[in-house]
Amino acid sequence: MPFTSEHLQTYQRDGYVVVRNLFSKAEVERLYAVAVGDEVLSRKTYDRVDASGLKTRLALWYTLDDSVYSKLARSARIVNAVEQLLGGPAAHYHSKLMQKEPRTGGAWEWHQDYGYWYKNNGFLFPDMLSALTALTPATRENGCLQMIKGSHRMGRVEHGFTGEQIGADAEKVNEALKIMPLEYLEMEPGDTAFFHCNTLHASAANLSDKPRWSIITAYNLATNKPYKDIHESSYTLIDPYTGDLLAEEEAGISETADFLVKR
């Protein structure tokens, strides 16, 4: 399904929108198969521990290369939507592969992405968003995304550490939940969710027997150049990729993809 004016209106009202079947079953199956077998990505993956001690595994990188992951991040289907949502030319901030394994995948606490992009990375304006593409089914049982509808209109909320994660001020979150709806974003492989950097979101632990894998790419309005972050990708214009994700050439990620190293 292409991105439409109705999707744009929903995003502006709610702070997020899900576009169903943005990528085909065949494309996502190939992407998932490449990710599962990618030795470089496996070596660069690290754990984030939630408040209860459960772990979510992820790998995060900044540089776009010739991999199938970069083709996804550069896909015109996503980039065209992002540029409508941001109101101008987009840059790739970073991408990450999220891996919530069965019965062990941890929760993500309530947070806004801009809560730490503002403080830690020096982005002055919330002209940023993320696009999450499901590689496996995302359900309530395996810890799908939860969104507080309309919470992007609250502006930036203060954040602090919860376990190894940065979480939003609990008092503000609790008050928001009293007056704004909570929605579970159950998704099928190939569905893509776009969400504003100030939208409060979370996910529960995966206590099911099914994995939940997804790729999340963060985008920035290219003019919103940070004053702390050294990654040129965050203000470099994207060259959109107009093909599909089924090309035959080598698709794994490069060793030089400028990975984030857990500290």
Residues 141/207, Cβ–Cβ less than 8 Å: yes
Confidence category of residue 165, pLDDT binned at 50, 70, 90? low
Mean pLDDT, rounded, for 256-261 = 92
Confidence category of residue 48, pLDDT binned at 50, 70, 90? confident
| d(C-alpha 58, C-alpha 210), whole Å | 17
Give the tens place of pLDDT for each residue, 121-144: 999 999 999 999 999 999 999 999
What pLDDT is stored for residue 230 in this prediction?
A: 83
| d(C-alpha 101, C-alpha 214), whole Å | 11
The type of residue at 153 is R
Write down all domains in the chain, each with its CATH number in brackets. 5-228 (2.60.120.620)
What SS3 class is residue 247?
coil
Mean pLDDT of the chain: 93
Confidence category of residue 53, pLDDT binned at 50, 70, 90? confident
The type of residue at 45 is T
What pLDDT is stored for residue 251 in this prediction?
A: 86
- Say what the alpha-carbon torsion angle 262, 237, 111, 77 is, to the nearest 10 degrees: -110
Where do the DSSP E strands lie in the chain? 16-19, 46-49, 55-61, 90-100, 108-111, 128-134, 145-148, 159-162, 165-168, 182-185, 192-196, 201-203, 212-221
Give the tens place of pLDDT for each residue, 198-250: 999 999 999 899 999 999 999 999 999 999 988 999 999 999 999 999 976 76
What pLDDT is stored for residue 38 in this prediction?
A: 96
| d(C-alpha 111, C-alpha 109), whole Å | 6
